[in-house]
A and B are shown apart, each in its own frame.
Chain A
Amino acid sequence: GQNIDQPTEMTATEGAIVQINCTYQTSGFNGLFWYQQHAGEAPTFLSYNVLDGLEEKGRFSSFLSRSKGYSYLLLKELQMKDSASYLCAVNSGYALNFGKGTSLLVTP
């Protein structure tokens, strides 16, 4: 079966750093994606990890530990526009299996 867990909601302050965790138990693993989704819009690609370690991309970084079934997305220098849902998705086979998403609210 597929089980992908992430916190439902988080709140952080503009300019701060926030870490969104994701744990997964899936049958098959071909990589883990993080997407950003604003309400009523499509998911937008943020990062992809297939090997253990940290991938850095500007203000966003993502970490993967395959042995622990664990990933996190790190957002630095938070901006108001970062308020959105952040979706963790595991690729197994052809499909992306998504978590329920973490709704991040950035406050002034």
Chain B
Amino acid sequence: EPEVTQTPSHQVTQMGQEVILRCVPISNHLYFYWYRQILGQKVEFLVSFYNNEISEKSEIFDDQFSVERPDGSNFTLKIRSTKLEDSAMYFCASSDGQGQHFNYGYTFGSGTRLTVV
């Protein structure tokens, strides 16, 4: 079964440092997403990406965050200057459609656990 792959699985970084989280979406998917889940809390939407541009973003996705699709397979989330409150599990997801046109293909990766110290 096709998978969304994320690397690294764990990342520890010092406050103020930049981090890049990497994702390889499912190959025939066109829509890409980042979500985060702070320990013990709900999964929160950060950003969606389609046709090489951001299609929607939440209030959490401020100027410290950016996304990029540097080549035909990777999708990255960059946090420019990490804060303690950025510590969370970050999930990448991809889908094959939008709105009412999903073909049950909204799939999450296994996540990157980011710890800011």
Residues of A that sit less than 8 Å from B by CB: 30-31, 33, 35, 40-45, 48, 50, 87, 89, 91, 93-101
Decide yes or no: A95 and B104 within 8 Å by CB, A30-B99, A42-B109 being known contacts.
Answer: no
In the complex, the answer to whether B100 meets A31 with C-beta atoms within 8 Å is yes
In the complex, the answer to whether A96 meets B91 with C-beta atoms within 8 Å is no
In the complex, the answer to whether A91 meets B45 with C-beta atoms within 8 Å is no
Question: Of all chain A residues, which has the CB nearest B98?
Answer: A94
How far, in whole Å, are A89 and B79 apart by their CA atoms in the complex? Answer: 26
Residues of B that sit less than 8 Å from A by CB: 31, 33, 35, 41-45, 48, 50, 55-56, 58, 89, 91, 98-100, 102, 104, 106-111
Interface residue from B43, B99, B107, B110 paired with A91 (Cβ < 8 Å): B99
Can you list 13 A-B contacts (CB < 8 A)?
A: A35-B108, A41-B110, A41-B111, A43-B43, A48-B104, A89-B43, A94-B50, A94-B98, A95-B45, A96-B35, A96-B43, A99-B42, A100-B42
How far, in whole Å, are A100 and B56 apart by their CA atoms in the complex? Answer: 22
